[in-house]
Each structure stands twice: as C-alpha cells, then as structure tokens.
Structure 1
Amino acid sequence: MSQIQVSNLTFAYEGTYDNIFENVHFQIDTDWKLGFTGRNGRGKTTFLRLLLGELEYSGTISASVEFEYFPFEVEHKEYLTIDVIEEVHPEYLHWKLVRELNWLKISEDVLYRPFETLSNGEQTKVLLATLFIKENRFLLIDEPTNHLDLHARQLVADYLGRKSGYILVSHDRAFLDRCVDHILSINKTNIEIQKGSFSTWWENKQRQDQFELAQNEKLKRDVQRLSESSRRTSGWSHEVESTKNGTRNSGSKVDKGYIGHKAAKMMKRSKAIEQRQQSAIEEKSKLLKNIESAESLQIAPLHYHKERLAELDHVSIYYDGHQVSEDVSFEIERGERVALSGANGSGKSSFMKLICGEDISYSGGFQKDTQLQISYVSQDTSHLQGDLSDYAKSHGIDESLFKSILRKLDFSRLQFEKDMATYSGGQKKKVLIARSLSERAHLYVWDEPLNFVDVNSRMQIEELLLEYKPTLLFVEHDSEFVHNVATKVVELSHCATP
C-alpha cells in the first residue's frame, strides 16, 4: 500500500478568474475503492486530469503509482478487439485477460470480432478488464455506467467490488454502494474523505446538514443582536456631537470645545467597539458552508382531454433493415410515468422517437393524437453551444423561468455568461432538462436524462416528478430513480436478426 498526497493544490482554467481548487490538501491510499462525488461543475473530471498531468497547477501531487484514465478513446474501432487490447497493453498475458472477461460474463469470442461491433456494455467491460491486468496502475474511472443497461451495471459493479486501487466517478447511488469503500466529496468550500459506502456518507451528510441548520438559527439570532448593538454604538458619538450646537438643560451656553473632545473620544471608542462587533458578525455569518441548495423545481404540464395519450399494439421496430424489437404493446395513460427498460440495442430510443413523430421504420399498430404536444430530451448534448439566452429564444421558452430552473440545479450566474460548449456533461444535460421543464406539454419524453447529472439534482428531479405527476415516458438506467419514479415499467427484449 502507498499513498497519493495532494498538498496546496490550486487550479483555475486559463482565462477564468474563479479557482476550481484552492489550497486543497488530502491523501488517498492506493488500495482504496474510492467513490468520487460532487455537484456538476465542481471539478471531478478536472481533478482526474490533474492527476494525469494534463493541466498545469500550483501545489504538489505526489504518487508512487501510474494513473490510467477510463474511458479512453479507441483510435481504430474497426480493428479486431484483440488488436485493440494489444495497442492498449502490448505485454498482456492472455490467460489473465480471459480470467477478467469471465468475471465480467464476456465470452472469449468477442476478442475476434471488430471492436466497433461490440455493444457499449461489451466495450466497457473489455477495456476495464484490459486496464485492470496492468501492473502498478491506479485507475481513474470516469462515469463508466453511462449508456449501460441495468444488467450491465450490476455486472460491472460486482467486478469493481472484486478490485481495489481506483477512483470511481459516478452519480448512480446503487452502483456506488456496490463497489466503493471510501467517498471523496467536493463540497462548496472544501474536499473531504470518509470511509464507507455512498449511503453511509449521505446519511452522515444529512446529519451534518441538520446540525448546521440548527446552528444557523442560533447564529442568525446572534448576528441580529450584534447588528442592533453595532447600530446603537455607532449612534453614540453622533448624539454627543449633535449637542455642540445645542444648549444645556439649564439654558446656559454649551462648551463646544469640551463637547467636541468628548465626542472625539466617544467616536474612537465606538469605532473600536463597532469593529469588534463587525468582526464577530462576519465570523458568525459564515453559515451553512457546505449545505447544498436543493430548491424545489416546478413544471406546468398541459392537461390532456383524453385519458389515453398514445397506444402501441404489437409494434416491431426495424433499424438498418434489422428487426431490433418485436411485438411490443403498451399504452401511455394520463398521469403515468412509464419507464422503458431493456438491454442496449432493444429499441428503447427508437420507440421514443416514434412517439415523438420521427420517421422510424415499424410494423404493427400505433396511435397518437395529432394535437398531442410533446417535450423531448435526447441523449445527445453535442449540439449545445453558444449563449443560453439565444438558446431559450430559439426554443420559444421564457428565459427567466429557464435560468431560474438552472439556478436551482446549481448553476452559478457566472455560468450564464459562458458558451454552452464549455459546460461539463452534467451541466449540458441540465440545460436540456431545464428547457423541457420550461415547456408546456401533455407528454414529456426523456431519453437517459440523468447521464452525468449529480446526485443532488437527481433527487430534486425525483421530487418534482412525484409532486407534479406529469405524464412521462423515459429511459433511465439509475435503478434508484426508476424505482422511485416509475408507475409502470415496460420491458423490451433484444431480438436483432441478420
């Protein structure tokens, strides 16, 4: 066991004036299974890049291990998978690789298929297996669950549970609980590390937040009392000074020199007292330093005049001439929150696009009212660029409402001035969600809306959906979210045929 030491770490991106990290200190044992959490834009991926030496910083990061980042870009996806592996790890031992693949329930046959023909889940598992057979490596695993179906997530979680020596960035609560033994959290004002699962850390944070809230009430009263006292103190010298031009009660003329001297002494004394009181006010005003804002979100869905919004009767979906899903039947009733579930490639996104009116090849019966208004959130965020105000205008939504929702999802006002292309993956997803929440619709269709989105925001969105009960069709692989939100789950089976 060795340690990774971080001392006096300070970093800001060139051209910005807000530090992402400032004088940060902590240490990590290299045999930990470390879960990394924090709200979007706090610097999780940036910190991984700092460990990799990709960015310049002040301070020191020292380690006796080499770092490997996952996921990395495969340059030649057309190569056979075994050739891709050899490019990543030329000195690999075949028996070790096969052992890792067996643990991940991957057949050795995939090694002799072009890498690009593997599913997202298979690609993730193959590359993880390759990295874990490298010696003396500390893995930086960045959001491995995105686009993985529930079954693949469970397999990868069980696999990581066997391993040690990694930092895992994930916002999937159940996934983290299955495979970490420490949590590193980037808070508003500091970075802290706790031993235990994500759930243990979350419970501890809730208790700490409650303690801080109770302290907040006490300190607010103290601040109010000190502020009132400070105002009284600052008034003393002014009262004495005002008597210079007045008269004594006896009617005799006042001694202006004496009064002026007294006023000066009183002014000096009152200023000293006021400064002490102001310092106390500032100290006591440093309240709720790490409580995350989680204001309630709002949505205003349109009322649909019929009970049933859409119906699919024995529908089969075809993609590139192949049948990907067969004989699917379900209805979307008013107020339902329908989750589509199934392995990657089973046609989930295609069914959503069909309902949204895109040109999808299908057979069977499909009915949807032409007056049905739909708000769609896609998986893809690559098109987001430019100014938030222009984006709101181009989609015909209220800019103030749109930005208010983003503020509640932990956007700073500084983010409003930036090009959307510079946003983190989670921030881009929040833009799509905020736009959808700003739209008036009968049906909300969300395709993997939570990819990259932080845990706090996931919980805010859960609470919104449970409170307002909009009609929703969605795909999401976060099992906690699906369990809490869905009123109905439609299981799709993969049946691709040549």
Structure 2
Amino acid sequence: MSLIKVTNLTFAYEGSFDNIFENVSFQIDTDWKLGFTGRNGRGKTTFLNLLLGKYDYSGTITSTVQFEYFPFVVEQKENQTLDVIGDIIPDYLQWELMRELSLLQVSEDVLYRPFASLSNGEQTKVLLAALFLKENSFLLIDEPTNHLDMHARKLVSDYLRTKSGFILVSHDRSFLDNCVDHILSINRTNIEIQKGNFSDWWENKQRQDQFELAENEKLKKDIKRLSDAAKRTSNWSHEVEKTKNGTRNSGSKVDKGYIGHKAAKMMQRSKSIEQRQHSAIDEKSKLLKNIENQDSLKISQLAYHKNQLAELEHVSIYYGDRTVCSDISFSIAQGERIALSGKNGSGKSSLIKLICGENMTYTGTFRKGSQLKVSYVSQDTSHLQGSLTDYARQNGIDESLFKAILRKLDFSRDQFEKNMAAYSGGQKKKVLIAKSLSEKVHLHIWDEPLNFIDVISRMQIEELLLEHAPTILFVEHDREFCNHIATKIVEL
C-alpha cells in the first residue's frame, strides 16, 4: 500500500479565465477501487491527464507508483491482436495473458485475428486484459463501458471487482456499484472522496442536499427577522438621540446623560443584531454550492389518432445474404416506453432503422401509422457544429425550451455561446436528447442515447421521461435506466 497525495492543485487551460481545479487537496490509497463521477465537462479526463503529467499545474501531486491510462491508443489496427498486445506490454507472460482473457470470457482465437476485425466489445476486453498485466502501476480506466452491451458490462464489472488499485470513470450506476469501494466525485465547487459504492455516495449526497436546503430556509428566515429587528432598533436609537437637545412634554430639562446612555445601548444592540445578521449571511453563503440544477420543465408530445403506432409480425432483416435478426414480433402503443434489449450485433439498430423509415431488406409484416411523426436520436454526434441558436432554428424547435432542457442537464451559460464542435461527447449527446424532447412528435426513437452522458444527467433524463411520459422506443445498456424507464422489454 502507498498513497497518492494531491495538495493545493490548481489548473486552467491556456487562454481560459476559469480554473477547472482550484486549491484541491486529497489523498488516495493505491489499493482502493475508486469510481470517478461528476458532470460532463467538470474535468474528470483532465484530472487523469494531470496524473499522467500531460499538463503544467500549480500545487503538487506525489506518488510512488506509475500511472497507466486506458484505453490504449492502437496505431496499427491491421496487425494481429497478439502483436498489438506485444506493442503495449513487450515483456508479458503468455500464461498470465491467457488467465486474464479467460476471466473476461475472450476465446484464444482472437489473438490470431487482425485487431481491426474484433468487435468493439472484444477490443475493449483485450485491452483491459493487457492493462492488468501491468505491474506496480495505478490504473486510470476511462469509460470502458461505452461499447459494451449489458451482458458484457456485467462481465467486465465482475472482472474489475476482483482487482484493486484503479480509478474508474463510468456513468453506469450498476457497473460502479458492483466493482468499486470508494467514490471520487468532482462537485460544483470541490473534489471529495467517500467510502462505499455509487449508491452509498448518492444517498449521502441527497441527505446532505436536504440538510443544506433546510438550513438555507432557516437562515433566510433568521436573516429577515434580524434585518427587521435591526431597522426597529436603529429607528428607536435615532428617536432617542433626537430628544437629547429637546425638552420633555412637562417642560422640564432633559437628562442628556441618561438619554445618551440609552441611545448608546440601542446602538450597541443594533450592532449586535447586525453582526448576527452578517454571520447568518456568511453561513448561508456556504450552502447549496454543490446542489445540482433542478429546474422543472414543461414538455408535451403529440397525441396520435390511434392507440397503436406501429406493429411488427415475424419480421426478419437481412444485409445481403446475412440474417441480422429473425422472427421479431411486437407492437408500439401510445404511452409505452419500450427497451430493445440484446447483445451487440443482435439487430437492434437495424430494427430502429426500419421503424424510422430507412429502406431495409426484410420479410414478415411491418405496419406503421400514416403521418406518424418520429424523432430519432442516433449514436453519431459528429455532424454537430455551429451555434445552438442556429441549430434550434434549422430544426424548427422552441429555442427557449431546448436551452432550458440543456440548463437542467448542467449546461452553463457560456456553453450556449460555444461552437457545438467544441463540446465533449457527453455534451453533444445532451444536445441530441434536448432536441428530441423539444420536437412535436408522436414517437421518440433513441439509439444508445446515454453514451458519454454523466450519471446525474442520466437520472434527470429519467425524471423527464417519467414525468412527461412520451412514447419511446430505445436501445440502452445502462441497466438502471432500463429498469426505471421501460414499461416493456423486447429481447432479441
């Protein structure tokens, strides 16, 4: 066991006015299994790069271990997988590699195939096996789940649970809960570490948020009461002071010493109240800094003139002479939230394309309501560029609602002014989801919408879907999201 110590870490990108980290201090035990969570754009990958020594910063980071980053960059994907692993770890032992691959349920034959021919899931597992052959290293694992189906995520999570000495960036709650023993969280104003899994951290956060909201209300009332008392005391002091140079109603001479003493006591009391008021304001200013945006929104979906929007009966889809999926039957009714579930390559995206109206080769019966309006969120975000205002105008959506949804999903005001091409992967996915929820349609179809999206935003998207109950067909490998949202699951 050794420690990684971060002391007074401050960092900002060149040309930026705002610090991403400011005087951050904490320490990490190298035997811990740390889940790393925080909103998109808060600096998770930046922090990993600082550990790797890629940027200059002020403060200190001290460690007796080397850091290794995942995913590795594979320059020559046409090479055999065995050679790719050899490039990453030249001195590995064959039996150790086979042990790791066996734990990840990867067959030996993949080693003798070009790396490029492996599925995304197979590539992820092979690179993870290589990562854990690194000795005397603390591992920085950055979003390994984005190309894994639900079955593969459970397998990789079980694998990581047997390991230790890593920071894992993931937005999948079930994945984190299964394999970490500490949470490193980047909040709005600080970085903190808590023992336990994600659910433990989230429960503590909600408890802290509720405490701060209650304290905030109490202090607001205290400040108003003290403010009113200060005004009254000040008025009394002023009135008493005025009598010093006057006379009593009886015409007798004024006792200036007595009145002066009384006025001074009033002033002293007024200052005491004012100090308590300032103290309460100071206490109030320490609250609510890490509470996330919870604005309520009004989203409406078009009602269709029939209850049933689409139906598939014994549908099989083909690419050339290859059968992608076969004998699929299900219907989509108004108000349903249907999860398409199955391993990668089982035909989920092909079914979505068919329902969206793409020209697909298929057999069986497929019926879709006439004049049915569909909103589609694809996996691809590479087309996003230009301003949010222009994007809203081009797509004919309400710009204020579109931006209100993005605000709820933690877009800051300055993000609204940026070119979308400069957004992170998670921010781009939020743009597509906000656009979809702003469109007047009968049916939403989302293909892996949550890739790269932070965990708190995922929960807020769940809240929006449960509150406004749009009809939706979706593919998503986040188990918690599916459990909370789906009213029906179609297993492929």
TM-score by length of 2: 0.91
Superposed CA RMSD: 2.8
What is the letter of the counterpart of residue 332 of structure 1?
I
Who is 1:437 aligned against? 437
Who is 1:148 aligned against? 148
Q: Is the 8 A contact 1:223 1:285 kept in 2?
A: no
What is the letter of the counterpart of residue 192 of structure 2?
E
Q: Is the 8 A contact 2:339 2:474 kept in 1?
A: yes
In structure 2, what is the Cα distance between the partners aligned to 1:369 and 1:96?
Answer: 56
Aligned-pair CA distance for 1:232: 4.5
Who is 1:60 aligned against? 60
| Matched position secondary structure for 2:380 | coil
In structure 2, what is the Cα distance between the partners aligned to 1:7 and 1:299?
Answer: 45
Who is 1:330 aligned against? 330
Per-residue CA distance 1:83-120 (angstroms, 9 max, x = gap)? 11111111111111111000000101000111111111
Map 1:32-181 → 2, pairs under 5 A: 32-181=32-181
Who is 1:28 aligned against? 28
TM-score by length of 1: 0.90
Map 1:431-470 → 2, pairs under 5 A: 431-470=431-470
Return closer, same or farther for 1:375/1:247 CA change in 2, 3 Å cut-off: farther
| Matched position secondary structure for 1:105 | coil
Aligned-pair CA distance for 1:2: 0.9
Q: Is the 8 A contact 1:4 1:27 kept in 2?
A: yes
Runs (4 or more) in structure 1 with deviation over 4 Å come to 230-244, 246-252, 264-275
Per-residue CA distance 1:174-200 (angstroms, 9 max, x = gap)? 111110011111122221111111122
Q: Is the 8 A contact 1:398 1:438 kept in 2?
A: yes
Who is 1:351 aligned against? 351
In structure 2, what is the Cα distance between the partners aligned to 1:94 and 1:17?
Answer: 50
Map 1:186-201 → 2, pairs under 5 A: 186-201=186-201
Who is 2:360 aligned against? 360
In structure 2, what is the Cα distance between the partners aligned to 1:242 and 1:430?
Answer: 64
Per-residue CA distance 1:337-393 (angstroms, 9 max, x = gap)? 111111111121121122112233333322212400011111112222221111111
Q: Is the 8 A contact 2:230 2:270 kept in 1?
A: no
Aligned-pair CA distance for 1:170: 1.0
Return closer, same or farther for 1:196/1:248 CA change in 2, 3 Å cut-off: same
In structure 2, what is the Cα distance between the partners aligned to 1:239 and 1:381?
Answer: 70
What is the letter of the counterpart of residue 331 of structure 1?
S
Return closer, same or farther for 1:88/1:222 CA change in 2, 3 Å cut-off: same
| Matched position secondary structure for 2:371 | coil
Return closer, same or farther for 1:349/1:297 CA change in 2, 3 Å cut-off: farther
Q: Is the 8 A contact 1:227 1:281 kept in 2?
A: no
Gaps in structure 1 of 5+ consecutive residues: 253-260, 493-498
Who is 1:258 aligned against? none
Q: Is the 8 A contact 2:219 2:280 kept in 1?
A: no
1:416 to 2:428 alignment: no
What is the letter of the counterpart of residue 25 of structure 2?
H
Map 1:380-391 → 2, pairs under 5 A: 380-391=380-391
Gaps in structure 2 of 5+ consecutive residues: 252-259
Q: Is the 8 A contact 1:348 1:475 kept in 2?
A: yes
1:309 to 2:309 alignment: yes
Return closer, same or farther for 1:78/1:238 CA change in 2, 3 Å cut-off: farther
| Matched position secondary structure for 1:451 | coil
Aligned-pair CA distance for 1:49: 1.3
In structure 2, what is the Cα distance between the partners aligned to 1:424 and 1:185?
Answer: 19
What is the letter of the counterpart of residue 221 of structure 2?
R
User: What is the aligned-residue identity percentage?
Assistant: 70
Who is 1:255 aligned against? none
Per-residue CA distance 1:140-159 (angstroms, 9 max, x = gap)? 11111112111100110011
Return closer, same or farther for 1:310/1:279 CA change in 2, 3 Å cut-off: same
Q: Is the 8 A contact 2:219 2:281 kept in 1?
A: no
Aligned-pair CA distance for 1:396: 0.9
Q: Is the 8 A contact 1:296 1:460 kept in 2?
A: no
Report how many aligned residue pairs link the two structures. 487
What is the letter of the counterpart of residue 33 of structure 2?
K
In structure 1, what is the Cα distance between the partners aligned to 2:399 and 2:76?
Answer: 43
Return closer, same or farther for 1:364/1:269 CA change in 2, 3 Å cut-off: same
Who is 1:218 aligned against? 218
In structure 2, what is the Cα distance between the partners aligned to 1:16 and 1:230?
Answer: 43
Who is 2:473 aligned against? 473
Return closer, same or farther for 1:266/1:392 CA change in 2, 3 Å cut-off: farther
